[in-house]
């Protein structure tokens, strides 16, 4: 695979948008009846990496990049984590249920953070760059990432800001591992300290609507 993409690859752009629509289709329709079919989307993305012969560096999995990214990004993540915990303690919003489940829940969040950063940066951002998005690629990737969190306004706001920052940092340090672990940690802490009435219990799509309004969209049944 070429590390620089001078000639726009329209197929890459079409592919990225197609996968994004599949993700939306899964969230809004397929998950209700076939919850495990997200594996199809994952398989398609993995097949795309293999077909394009994308190596460790292109996906942000290099050890050298991890060390460099951790040294630059890590201190800011620790600072933000401390600020979230301090704010939660000061305002008395730390969720005792989440706190009791912290060991297992944190592990799940770390894995999920890696998966989301892989889809956002390892896949979408790379494809947008290949497709000729240029300097608009980080914002475009963050926007798509945000739309995947509809209609949860809290997650959409966090996803837009966090997704854009993650895309910019990925281009600078090229470490999916650092960003994925940071994503997981901050996501867990937000779940720990942000009240459910604000976070919507971190639900998206029809499940958010069901939680907020007590009814499931009939058009999706």
28: which DSSP letter? I
Q: Over the stretch 158-211, which tens digit does the pLDDT of each residue have?
A: 999 999 999 999 999 999 999 999 999 999 999 999 999 999 999 999 999 999
Sign of CA dihedral 172, 178, 180, 181: negative
Tell me the C-alpha distance between 183 and 142, whole Å.
14
194: which DSSP letter? S
> What per-residue confidence (pLDDT) applies to 215?
86
How many CA atoms within 13 Å lie on the side-chain side of 119? 21
42, two tokens: 């994952």
Q: Over the stretch 8-22, which tens digit does the pLDDT of each residue have?
A: 899 999 999 999 999
The answer to whether residue 214 scores a pLDDT higher than 50 is yes
Q: Say what the pTM is.
A: 0.92
Tell me the C-alpha distance between 117 and 212, whole Å.
27
């Amino acid at each position: 695979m070429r590390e620089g993409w001078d000639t726009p690859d329209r197929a890459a752009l079409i592919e990225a948008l197609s996968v994004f629509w599949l993700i939306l289709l899964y969230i809004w329709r397929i998950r209700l009846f076939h919850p495990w079919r997200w594996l199809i989307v994952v398989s398609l993305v993995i097949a795309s990496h293999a077909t394009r012969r994308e190596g460790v560096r292109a996906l942000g999995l290099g050890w050298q990049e991890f060390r460099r990214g951790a040294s630059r990004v890590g201190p800011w993540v620790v600072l933000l984590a401390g600020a979230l915990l301090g704010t939660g303690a000061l305002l008395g919003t730390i969720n005792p249920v989440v706190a009791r489940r912290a060991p297992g829940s944190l592990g799940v969040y770390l894995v999920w953070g890696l998966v989301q950063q892989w889809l956002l940066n390892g896949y979408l951002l790379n494809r947008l760059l290949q497709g000729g998005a240029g300097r608009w690629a980080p914002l475009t990737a963050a926007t798509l990432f945000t739309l995947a969190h509809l209609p949860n306004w809290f997650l959409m706001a966090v996803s837009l800001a966090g997704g854009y920052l993650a895309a910019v940092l990925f281009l600078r340090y090229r470490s999916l591992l650092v960003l994925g672990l940071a994503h997981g940690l901050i996501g867990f802490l937000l779940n720990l300290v942000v009240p459910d009435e604000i976070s919507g219990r971190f639900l998206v799509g029809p499940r958010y609507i069901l939680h907020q309004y007590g009814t499931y969209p009939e058009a999706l049944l």
